[in-house]
């Protein structure tokens, strides 16, 4: 029987051997009448087969996942991961799929969608409030709620698609703020050691758009919650350059978290297309990080090149500016459009495959490298 939404549920079995290693009968943690059932809130956890990953990623390309399921608490995370490990099946974790690209061959394992909710104030004093947030909470809803509480620290990260649990993975940030600035700790299931752990911010290995979760420890942890510490002080200038420009042009002199949030939302609406209308992953490329000598070489030919001083002898050069200045803004390459309002964004206009996207990506990277001798990198993860 085919589910109304297009899913094809696996058949139930109670045999020791089964052609579907993730069917309910093969998961033995809970057994009722010789039928294994995964449950939450009195509903059975459904494990679906042969699901097109393009339906779960905002770029809308990619092959099928062998299995896909949703988890709503830590026990379900552990149950699915233990069984997958037992069956030697690879695991890939996604939230909303807004920063993930699926390859044409699909994924010969189980994709686990995180749907763990929760928003709990765990400490509060005269200067700050610390909040624990479920990994499956939609990030912008979290930002709005915190701004409504008049707390600062993540207001410039408004309107970023995705879930809270995804933010530490690539140290998500925007307009001068990043999750590393406020994250105190996170809770995660350690697949390797079959245990739940708490990792402090200093253990996450944060750097620009990077962490241990997409580096040395990629695939080891499933984040179930994050704990962030917010300030009760209102934001103070100077702000990130483009944000400051927006405020100056409108003669905005009083700065609150709500003012900054609304400004960021306006800026992002202008620069970033809605993935529900135009398939994209937001910023497709990381901004280039260069050393001082590289910046000086670039300035010899491009004296007005924009940059952001990172304060450690490195400088951030906007990848969008680099792409625009090799003449690719608005270009169509293999069905992928370089967005005409923001060259950092790639839109799937007519691409049918991952290979189409890879062709466009590689051409863009190559032209930037050839002209500026700067290497830009893809930001989204790949299944």
Q: What is the pLDDT of residues 235-251, one digit of tens each?
A: 999 998 899 999 999 99
SS3 121: strand
Which has the closest alpha carbon to 348: 96, 58, 64?
Answer: 58
Question: Tokens standing for 299?
Answer: 């300035």
CATH class in words for 119-231: alpha beta
Looking at the predicted structure, is the pLDDT value of residue 108 above 60?
yes
pLDDT at 8 over 50: no
Average pLDDT, stretch 59-81? 95
DSSP string covering 55-96, please? Answer: GSSTT----EEEEEEEE-SHHHHHHHHHHHHHTT--EEEESS
Mean pLDDT to the nearest integer, 341-363: 96
- For 77, phi then psi, to 5°, come to -55, -50
Whether residue 35 has pLDDT greater than 60:
no
Task: Kindly indicate whether the domain formed by 273-382 is annotated with CATH number 3.40.640.10.
Answer: no
Give me the count of residues in the chain.
383
Q: What is the pLDDT of residue 44?
A: 56
Q: How confident is the model at residue 13 (pLDDT cuts 50, 70, 90)?
A: very low
- DSSP annotation string for 138-158: BHHHHHHHHHHTT-BSSGGGT
Q: Please, what is the average pLDDT of the chain?
A: 88
The per-residue b/e assignment along 224-257, b for 16 or more CB within 10 angstroms, e otherwise, is: bbbbbbbeeebbeeebbeebbebbeeeeeeebeb
Residue whose C-alpha is closest to residue 102's, from 171, 67, 136, 52: 52
Between residues 272 and 41, which one has the greater pLDDT?
272
pLDDT of 6 above 50: no
| Per-domain boundaries in the chain | 24-114, 119-231, 273-382
Q: pTM value?
A: 0.84
Quote the pLDDT of residue 191: 96
When comparing pLDDT for 29 and 373, which is higher?
373
Instruction: Specify the DSSP element, H or E, that contains 367.
Output: helix 354-372
Q: What is the pLDDT of residue 23?
A: 40
Catalytic machinery residues: 209, 283, 379
Euclidean distance between CA atoms 78 and 57, whole angstroms: 24
* Mean pLDDT value across residues 159-187: 95
Instruction: Provide the pLDDT confidence category of residue 42 given band limits of 50, 70 and 90.
Output: very low
Residues of the chain with pLDDT > 70, as a percent, come to: 89
Q: How far apart are the first and last CA of the chain?
A: 28
> Distance between CA atoms of 94 and 165, rounded to whole angstroms?
9
Instruction: Output the pLDDT for position 312.
Output: 82
Pairing type for strands 35-36 and 31-32 reads antiparallel
Cα–Cα distances in angstroms (integers) from residue 244 to residues 163, 175, 237, in the given order: 27, 9, 8
Structure confidence at residue 308 (pLDDT): 85
* pLDDT score of 18 more than 50: no
Topology at the third CATH level for domain 24-114 = 3.30.43
Q: How far apart are CA 167 and CA 156, in angstroms?
A: 14
Kindly state the average pLDDT of the residues 125-131: 97
Question: What percent of the chain has pLDDT above 90?
Answer: 79
pLDDT of amino acid 25: 35
Specify the pLDDT at position 354.
96
pLDDT level of residue 43 (50, 70, 90 thresholds):
low
pLDDT at 197 over 90: yes
Residue 46 is predicted with a pLDDT of 85
CA pair distance 162, 99, nearest whole angstrom: 8
């Amino acid at each position: 029987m085919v589910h109304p939404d297009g899913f094809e549920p696996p058949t139930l079995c109670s045999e020791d051997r089964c052609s579907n290693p993730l069917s309910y009968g093969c998961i033995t943690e809970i057994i009722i009448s010789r039928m294994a059932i995964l449950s939450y809130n009195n509903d059975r956890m459904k494990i679906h087969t042969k699901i097109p990953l393009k339906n779960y990623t905002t770029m809308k390309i990619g092959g099928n996942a062998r299995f896909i399921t949703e988890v709503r608490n830590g026990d379900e995370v552990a149950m699915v991961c233990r069984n997958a490990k037992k069956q030697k099946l690879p695991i890939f974790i996604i939230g909303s799929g807004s920063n993930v690209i699926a390859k044409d061959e699909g994924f010969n394992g189980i994709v686990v969608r995180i749907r763990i909710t929760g928003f709990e104030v765990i400490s509060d004093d005269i200067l700050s409030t610390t909040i624990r947030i479920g990994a499956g909470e939609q990030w912008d809803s979290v930002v709005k709620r915190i701004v409504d509480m008049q707390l600062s620290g993540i207001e410039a990260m408004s309107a970023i698609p995705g879930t809270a649990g995804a933010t530490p993975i690539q140290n998500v940030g925007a307009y001068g703020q990043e999750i590393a600035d406020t994250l105190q700790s996170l809770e995660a299931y350690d697949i390797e050691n079959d245990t739940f752990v708490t990792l402090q911010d200093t253990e996450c290995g944060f750097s620009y758009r990077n962490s241990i979760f997409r580096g040395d420890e990629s695939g080891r942890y499933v984040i179930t919650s994050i704990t962030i510490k917010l300030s009760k002080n209102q934001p103070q200038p100077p702000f990130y350059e483009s944000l400051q420009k927006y405020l100056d042009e409108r003669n905005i002199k009083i700065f609150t978290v709500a003012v900054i949030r609304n400004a960021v939302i306006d800026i992002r609406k202008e620069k970033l297309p809605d993935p529900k209308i135009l398939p994209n992953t937001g910023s497709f490329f990381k901004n280039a990080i260069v050393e001082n000598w590289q910046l000086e070489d670039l300035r010899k030919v491009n004296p007005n090149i924009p940059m952001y001083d990172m304060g450690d002898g490195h400088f951030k050069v906007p990848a969008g500016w680099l792409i625009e200045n090799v003449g690719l803004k608005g270009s169509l390459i293999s069905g992928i459009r370089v967005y005409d309002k923001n060259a950092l964004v790639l839109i799937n206009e007519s691409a049918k495959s991952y290979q189409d996207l890879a062709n466009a990506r590689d051409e863009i990277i190559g032209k930037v490298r050839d002209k500026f001798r700067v290497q830009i990198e893809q930001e989204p993860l790949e299944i």
